[in-house]
Amino acid sequence: MVVKKKRRDISDLDLGLPDTPSFDDFDTPDFAPPPPSGMEAPTPTATSLASPESSLEKLSSQVVSTLIQDGVPPIPTNFQLYFDRLLDEQPKEIQEEIHSMMELEGSNTDEQAIALEEKVKQAFRSIKQLLQISSNLYKNMTLMSRILSKRQSELGAFTDPEVKKVVKILQGDVSKLGTILDKQVGNMKTHYQATANIVQEIEAGSIFDQQFGVYNKRYLLSKLDLESQQIARFNHNSTLVTVTLNNEMRDLVPSEKAVLLMEKTVARLLMKTSRRSDIVAHYSQGVFAMLLKHTDLVNAERASGRLIDLVQSTNFFLGEKEVVLGVNIGIANISSSRSAEETLLAALEAMKQISLSKDVHVKIYENDNV
């Protein structure tokens, strides 16, 4: 398979985390960007950042040099992408120092939105529980009123007027309390419905999949569309990868609960090995997708193979039985000539074709495989 490349792809850099195998950790040749006039060229190695005091400045200069050498526009998005990858290559003490500086900037917008979504949904769940408790109280008060009425009938045989008077007063008080509770429960139901409507509106614009802890399909499509526009303008390479448990795994484990646990394990592995610039999302029914920016088909295929090795080396137990996880991966090129939905369908189609062969677990969409 031959892939035409217009310039060096950022995915060619071996920038995996020291302790965690990176999804984009490849064995590729080193590069040395040309030095600016009158300046010594920084090199993307662990020794390029000599002292903690100047580490951030040197890394920033290195990022700009690499962007220019690769012919990538040094806009904020691309700068962050290269910055994160080159930072992953530095010694741990340098990484920790710069990460501590970055923490002062706070979370990014997406992370803040996800945190807000979770808090709103937690509040809604609490309101729902409160309404349930109030409803139970109302039912108990209604039951008490019925019991008093029954006991009043049983006391009808007694002639003591004082006893009858006390029972009658008590029944009247309980009846008044029941009326008040009925009105208050009605008001709570009204407020609950209003809250539910607000939560539904928030969910309509949600970007997070609560079940798997990754982005959702809506967010993925929006990022795919944006990346397609970026490619149309800057002409770089990006790919989409779809991942799901293979058929053998689903046939081996008939329990839906066990399958869900395996799917959650796959989602965690994707999040653990992805770069900060990658978008990991849940498409539907246990199918996950990862948008790999500035990554061509060759490197996406190579990274997919490494992901399969990582998944298979992960211990997963069903009771006392150890199960070797297996996934199928489809790859599609992101192009300005097709929509986000078409790109997603292309990757899904490639993944679907894998089921025809038990020996293949990674496949590139046939129209992209040039």
pLDDT, one tens digit per residue, over 313-328 is 988 887 788 888 999 9
**pLDDT at residue 156, as a whole number:** 64
DSSP string, 62-111: HHHHHHHHTT----HHHHHHHHHHHHTTS-HHHHHHHHHHHHTT---HHH
- Cα torsion through 182, 184, 189, 191, rounded to 10: 170
Residues of the chain with pLDDT under 70: 1-53, 103-109, 152, 155-159, 356-358, 370
Query: What is the model's pLDDT at position 30?
Result: 41
Mapped onto helix, strand or coil, the DSSP state of residue 324 is strand
The reported pLDDT for the residue numbered 159 is 62
Report pLDDT for 8.
41
CA distance 149 to 67: 84
What is the per-residue pLDDT for 128?
A: 82
Whether 351 and 331 have beta carbons less than 8 Å apart is answered as no
Please report the pLDDT score of residue 331 as a whole number. Answer: 97
Query: Hey, what amino acid is at 39?
Result: M
* pLDDT number for residue 368: 93
Whether the full predicted model's pTM is greater than 0.85, yes or no, is no
Q: Which two tokens stand for residue 316?
A: 């997963």
How does DSSP classify residue 214?
A: E
| CA separation for the pair 288, 216 (Å, rounded) | 9
Whether 15 contacts 86, CB under 8 Å: yes
Angle between helices 76-87 and 92-103 (to 10 degrees): 140
Q: What integer pLDDT is reported at residue 87 of this predicted model?
A: 85
Residue 62, CA distances (Å) to 18, 21, 35, 71 in order? 20, 24, 10, 14
